[in-house]
Chain A
């Protein structure tokens, strides 16, 4: 409570160095620099310091010290987040879990793995593969992102229509509370008694506790997976085809759509053989037993023809499957080739509104004077509009942000939400009042208080204060398009 008793930077660093390897308590500007932002590099703040504890005891001690002096703590995994959720606090400590990179145990019989929170997502499936198992959620950043970060953001990926999000694929977590106490939430069983705190922690963006260990479920690797790629001459037809597959009772392992801007950019970049003349492209992956996949692939091909596909190509082997996915997986870097910068949005919509939303986005594109390309997790309604801009041109990023905000507003208006998998972080905190009333925001803040009464865990992220909500509402109401147009 008494800020006068707060240690200064040097004092705090020496406290940490008394129990953490001094080399892992970073205070100099040059070494701190890489920690000033995460994957959303438009937002930068230099932290007071960064600590890289190596044991749970050390994490607990860091938390105790920070709790005592009310010092903000921002947890960080690989720093691949796209909503500035790991943006440092200028007066706070960044707690990096990079040293927590051990796979503790794989239990092939029980189909689960125990992992330290800094283990990379892809490393789990790599380690499990010798048992014919894998970990379901596969965010685009899976080479680098950590399982701890995945829990923090409730990460998805291209396979979540069938295999679920992080929240569906974890059994338990070890969490260090803001006071420094170690608790295990969940168990080896599929559910636990009481309120489902595991659900509450998942996707809480580091606002409720520090995750040090995670037990994940592993799935049997499907015998076979094949992908059908189809071009359509309108977004409507593509969208209808998606509905048609679902209506047939098929749940594809992956179902991705791209608009014509994305198709062209990606084809130029990857030469995967995408139909550049198409207005919409669908990638539909089916997995399962050999018999099931054969049966479903035939149905999907027939359905695409019925819905007016202008081209259809089905993978015959693993190499071709990888090639067809290559374009989609490289959609973001492909944008980097046609524009100095891009800004990736993450709204979700009920799929029925897809064509309307994409058309509205093209109108907005003209209004804001910025190009937009769309990649879309069509199966689960998660849009990733990529707004192209040049950060070196004054005002362009602000315009891109305003454009993005208008897109999110539209998503909420058609019954969707402002973020499907990237999280709110600091980036979308101004859009929270679009989706939630003041009473709901107040309730969310009360949830935070139940875990973190002093509000030192990742402050300023995820959920706005009520006072800020009023400000944001006023800003959101302003006709941004008109004002942004001249730039």
Chain B
């Protein structure tokens, strides 16, 4: 695939001249996220392909429109992986969307998030300038960390063109353990296991059952499984993949899906309805109708934040409210990258 950065720059400059707003779209698999917006589509899926990949450096540079499947296939050939286990909401899911929406899968507390593994980005700002921040090395503290600031900004700061990432070796062995357990007990249990120096790589609770994944050197995985004395589960890999991609029955249907990012040990908010607890308690999913304000109160009590991840009313706010001072800073930041408010207007917050 060719480098179409200049084409994208032209499209942005033209839109700016014509005072049009742009909705940045890669694979389109995360269209359900954020607020509904009215803007012209800027298709970045054509900006695709692996730019450089040096397995022994553990560094990969890709164009932002590259599908996750393509990246993961290239890494697998070298027995490496995207350690943040990005969700594939469809086969078209791209790395750019993954970073913009800060999406990481079940291994996130142990293997880092996409935000953590980003080393550098290329982006086009709202005046059509092509800029580069960070780099292709693991340590780089020159200039502000603009690269990681993109995580969760949902394209409001610019169009990502290139992303450099740290990749990791695939673990030699993986097993899944599972047993029945009540929710509150499971929250404490997962945290207690996470405090042990063992090769835990995922911890989840759903429908009265606890699921733990162990990954690493074969000897360590086997010894830990034996020590913890929880039954081995068959089909574990498929379970974690379905959890990652939100294909488990829990995620089916039209009920609004809420995402809580909270203190891993917090007691679960007293809400009736189905819950799924992931990341050893740090990420919790809830299905049900509710007002954002009341959910925010629950999230704050649990030491974190909430967002209306999927479904429900996408015309109101869907993200946890910001403190006035932080809202002001983010508005000014937005203005510094995108002075005319070209990119994804109102996607993240109505005021952005």
Could you list which residues of chain A lie within 8 angstroms of chain B, going by C-beta atoms? 107-111, 131-133, 153-154, 156, 160-161, 164-165, 167-168, 177, 181, 183-185, 187-197, 199-200, 202-204, 208, 220-223, 242-244, 246-251, 288-292, 294-296, 348-352, 377, 380-382, 415-424, 428, 432, 435-437, 439-440, 443-444, 446-451, 462-463
Closest chain B CB from A237 CB (angstroms): 14
- Residues A197 and B145 in contact in the complex (CB < 8 Å), given A220-B196, A247-B55: no
Given contacts A295-B217, A348-B139, contact A189 B282 (CB under 8 A): yes
Question: Is the Cβ of A352 less than 8 Å from the Cβ of B56?
Answer: yes
- Interface segment out of the listed B69-77, B168-176, B205-213, B248-256: B168-176
Looking across the interface, which residue of chain A has its beta carbon closest to that of B320? A193
**Could you list 14 examples of A-B contacts with CB < 8 Å?**
A111-B264, A187-B305, A188-B264, A189-B283, A191-B115, A192-B152, A193-B320, A194-B153, A203-B141, A289-B219, A290-B223, A421-B139, A424-B143, A450-B335
Checking B102, B148, B157, B223 against A167 with a beta-carbon cut-off of 8 angstroms, the contacting residue is B148
Given A203-B145, A446-B336, A447-B333, A193 contacting B131 (CB threshold 8 A): no
- Residues from chain B with Cβ under 8 Å of A199 in the complex: 115, 145, 147-149, 151
A417 touches B137 (CB 8 A): yes
CB distance from B299 to the nearest CB of A (A): 8
Contact status B142-A418, CB under 8 Å:
yes
Distance A243 CA – B146 CA, assembled complex (angstroms): 29
Per the bound structure, the CA–CA distance linking A429 and B192 in Å amounts to: 46
Q: Contact at B145–A463, with CB atoms within 8 Å?
A: no
Chain B 125-141 near chain A by CB (<8 Å), digits 1 or 0: 10001011101111111
Kindly state the separation between the CA atoms of A183 and B330 in the bound complex, as whole angstroms: 13
Indicate if the CB atoms of A183 and B141 lie closer than 8 Å: no
A139 to chain B, nearest CB (A): 12
Measured in the bound complex, the distance between the Cα atoms of B144 and A105 in whole Å is: 29
**Do A291 and B152 contact each other (CB < 8 Å), given the known contacts A191-B115, A348-B140?**
no
**C-alpha gap A189/B335 in the complex (Å):** 28
Name B151's closest neighbour in chain A (CB-CB).
Answer: A196
* Total chain B interface residues with beta-carbon distance under 8 A: 91
Residues of chain B with a CB closer than 8 A to A432's CB: 142-143
Across-interface contacts of B305 in A (CB, < 8 A)? 187, 189, 192-193
Stretch binding the partner chain, chosen from B39-47, B85-93, B106-114: B106-114
Residue B286 lies at the interface, judged by CB distance under 8 Å to chain A: no
Task: State in angstroms the CA–CA spacing of A110 and B112 once bound together.
Answer: 17
Q: Does B195 contact A (CB under 8 A)?
A: yes
Instruction: Answer whether residue B1 sits at the interface, using C-beta atoms and an 8 A cutoff.
Output: no
Within 8 A of A (CB), among B224-276: 224, 260-266
- With contact pairs A111-B195, A249-B170, A449-B336 given, residues A193 and B132 touching in the complex (Cβ less than 8 Å): no
Once the chains bind, are A194 and B152 in contact (CB under 8 Å)?
Answer: yes
Residues B302-335 near A (CB distance < 8 A): 302-305, 307, 319-320, 322-323, 325-326, 329-330, 332-333, 335
* Most chain B Cβ neighbours within 10 Å, of A110, A154, A195, A381: A195
Across-interface contacts of A168 in B (CB, < 8 A): 112, 116
Which residue in chain B gives the minimum CB-CB distance to A443? Answer: B131
Q: Say yes or no: B141 contacts A424, CB within 8 Å.
A: yes
Known: A291-B217, A295-B219, A451-B329. A428 touches B54 (CB 8 A): no
CA distance A202 to B222 in the complex (A): 38
Contact B140 A420 (CB under 8 A): yes
Q: Does the CB pair B137–A349 fall under 8 Å?
A: yes
B215 to chain A, nearest CB (A): 11
Q: In the assembled complex, which residues on chain A have CB atoms less than 8 Å from the CB atom of B113?
A: 190-191
Q: Is the CB of A193 within 8 A of B322?
A: yes
Q: Given A188-B264, A192-B152, A462-B143, 6 more contacts at CB 8 Å?
A: A132-B196, A246-B55, A248-B169, A417-B135, A432-B143, A447-B146
Residues of A within 8 A of B303 (CB): 187-189
How far is the CB of A152 from the nearest CB of chain B, in Å? 10
- Docked Cα-Cα span, A200 to B333, in Å, equals 11
Say how far A295's CB is from chain B's closest CB, in angstroms: 5
With contact pairs A110-B263, A195-B149 given, residues A177 and B325 touching in the complex (Cβ less than 8 Å):
yes
- Are B223 and A289 touching (Cβ within 8 A)? yes
Question: Separation in Å of the A458 CB from the closest CB of chain B?
Answer: 13
B149 touches A196 (CB 8 A): yes
Residues on A with C-beta less than 8 A from B336 are 443, 446-447, 449-450
**B333 contacts A153, C-beta separation under 8 Å:** no
**Interface residues, chain B, with chain A CB atoms under 8 Å away:** 54-59, 79, 102, 108-109, 112-113, 115-116, 125, 129, 131-133, 135-153, 156-157, 168-170, 172, 188, 191-192, 194-199, 216-220, 222-224, 260-266, 279, 282-283, 302-305, 307, 319-320, 322-323, 325-326, 329-330, 332-333, 335-337, 348-349
Q: What residues of A have a CB within 8 angstroms of the CB of B322 in the complex?
A: 193-194
Given contacts A203-B145, A443-B131, contact A156 B139 (CB under 8 A): yes
Could you say which residues of chain A place their CB within 8 Å of the CB of B216? 288, 292
B132, B151, B223, B303 — most chain A CB neighbours (10 Å):
B303
A202 touches B217 (CB 8 A): no
Smallest CB gap from A221: residue in B: B197
* Contact among A196, A289, A428, A450 with B220 in the assembled complex (CB-CB below 8 Å): A289
Bound CA span A187–B129, Å: 34
Provide the bound-state CA to CA distance between A448 and B332, in Å.
Answer: 10
- A288: chain B residues at CB < 8 Å are 197, 199, 216-217, 220
Partner of B142, one of A381, A428, A447: A428
Would you give the shortest CB distance from A370 to chain B, in whole angstroms? 24
Contacts of B222 in A (CB 8 A): 291
A412 to B139, CA, bound (A): 13
Instruction: Report B219 CB to chain A, min CB distance, Å.
Output: 4
A107 touches B261 (CB 8 A): no
Please name all residues of chain A whose beta carbon is closer than 8 Å to the beta carbon of B197 when the two chains form the complex.
Answer: 132, 220-223, 288-289
Q: Are B326 and A251 in contact (CB under 8 A)?
A: no
Chain A nearest CB: distance from B80 CB in Å? 8
Which of B59, B220, B223, B279 has its CB near the most chain A CB atoms (within 10 A)? B220
Partner of A109, one of B188, B219, B223: B188
Closest 6 CB pairs of A and B: A188-B303, A189-B304, A199-B148, A189-B261, A249-B169, A188-B263
B326: chain A residues at CB < 8 Å are 183, 185, 194, 197
A109 and B304 form a contact (CB under 8 A): no
Q: Are B219 and A110 in contact (CB under 8 A)?
A: no
B169 in contact with A351 (CB, 8 Å): no
A-chain residues with CB within 8 Å of residue B145 when the two chains form the complex: 154, 167, 199-200, 202-204
A195 touches B156 (CB 8 A): yes
* Residues A194 and B141 in contact, CB atoms below 8 Å apart: no
Residues A424 and B329 in contact in the complex (CB < 8 Å), given A193-B307, A195-B156, A196-B115? no
Asked if B192 and A291 sit within 8 Å, CB to CB, the answer is: no
Contact A380 B153 (CB under 8 A): no
Inter-chain contacts of B132 with A (CB < 8 A): 436-437, 440
Inside 8 A of B218's CB, which chain A residues have their CB? 295
Roughly how many angstroms separate A194 CA and B325 CA in the complex, as a whole number? 13
Q: Which residue of A190, A195, A451 is within 8 Å of B282 (Cβ)?
A: A190
Say yes or no: A419-B141 contact (C-beta < 8 A), given A109-B188, A183-B325, A187-B305. yes
Q: Which of A133, A202, A222, A420 has a CB less than 8 Å from the CB of B137?
A: A420
